[in-house]
Amino acid sequence: MKIILALAILLTLSACTLVGGSDNSRPSETVTAFFTHIWAEEFDEAEQLLSAEPSISLKATAADYGGIFDKLDYRLISETVDGNRAYLTVNISTLDFAQLMSAVISEAFFWAFEEITEEELYDLVNQLLIEQINANDAPVLEKEVTVVLELENNQWRIVPDDTFFDGISGGVLSFAEHVAGW
């Protein structure tokens, strides 16, 4: 009787693990979940998979640059786990923000010399950027990124460093640094 009871408990626990999933997921599963949430525009859920609050909100980035994540995709190249840290080499493809902004600046340049207000110029630039982002022939950038994860409470969390954010946003941070250096 004890053996049957023990087997029943073991089967119940095994079924719960299969249904509920393991608390100690693989790092690649966390990265997959992150991208899945981005594609579903579940930005709060995606940010819950980060080890810290990102320097730039995913939801705000999506709101400011509508469609910026529409062509976001990734391919896992390698995964290395070293204790409580993991390093995933990921090939990320997304819109090339620098090329998009170059096209916008080229189009908007002449408007700066017209008699329009600064607010009107800002609105025009935003409109041109959204048009460029949503264009069928919008430029795509592929970049190999090392995604760093940390194990926190038996859950892998992505460390939201600038390299990772720059990779998923198509170079927003690199472009901002380049412009600031002018």
- For domain 42-180, the CATH class is alpha beta
What are the C-alpha distances in Å from 81 to residues 26, 31, 143?
Answer: 9, 14, 22
Q: Is the pLDDT of residue 28 over 90?
A: yes
Rounded (to 5) percent helix, strand, coil in the chain = 50, 20, 25
Say which residue, 56 or 24, is predicted with more confidence: 56
Reference 74, options 60, 61, 59, 89; nearest CA is 89
In the structure encoding, which two tokens stand for residue 28, read together? 């690649």
Q: Is the pLDDT of residue 71 over 90?
A: no
Query: What pLDDT, on the 0 to 100 scale, is given for residue 17?
Result: 36
Q: Is the pLDDT of residue 139 over 60?
A: yes
Q: Give the tens place of pLDDT for each residue, 38-56.
A: 999 999 999 999 998 877 7
Tell me what the pLDDT averaged over the chain comes to. 79
Query: What pLDDT, on the 0 to 100 scale, is given for residue 60?
Result: 84
Q: Per-domain residue ranges for the chain? A: 42-180
In the structure encoding, which two tokens stand for residue 121, read together? 């110029």
Q: Is the pLDDT of residue 36 over 90?
A: yes
Q: Is the pLDDT of residue 107 over 90?
A: no
Say which residue, 13 or 101, is predicted with more confidence: 101
Query: What pLDDT, on the 0 to 100 scale, is given for residue 24?
Result: 47
- Residue 96's pLDDT band (cuts 50, 70, 90): confident
Dihedral of the alpha carbons of 14, 82, 79, 27, in degrees to the nearest 10? 40
Minimum mean pLDDT among 24-28, 49-53, 82-86: which range?
24-28
- Residue 182's pLDDT band (cuts 50, 70, 90): low
| CA R_g for the chain | 22
Query: What pLDDT, on the 0 to 100 scale, is given for residue 2?
Result: 34
In the structure encoding, which two tokens stand for residue 76, read together? 């896992």
* DSSP symbol at 42: -
CA 24, CA 28: separation in Å to the nearest integer? 12
Which H, E and C letters describe 92-130, residue by residue? EEEECHHHHHHHHHHHHHHHHHCCCCHHHHHHHHHHHHH
148 sits in which H/E element: strand 140-152
What are the C-alpha distances in Å from 141 to residues 17, 29, 71?
Answer: 40, 24, 10
Percent above pLDDT 70 for the chain: 85
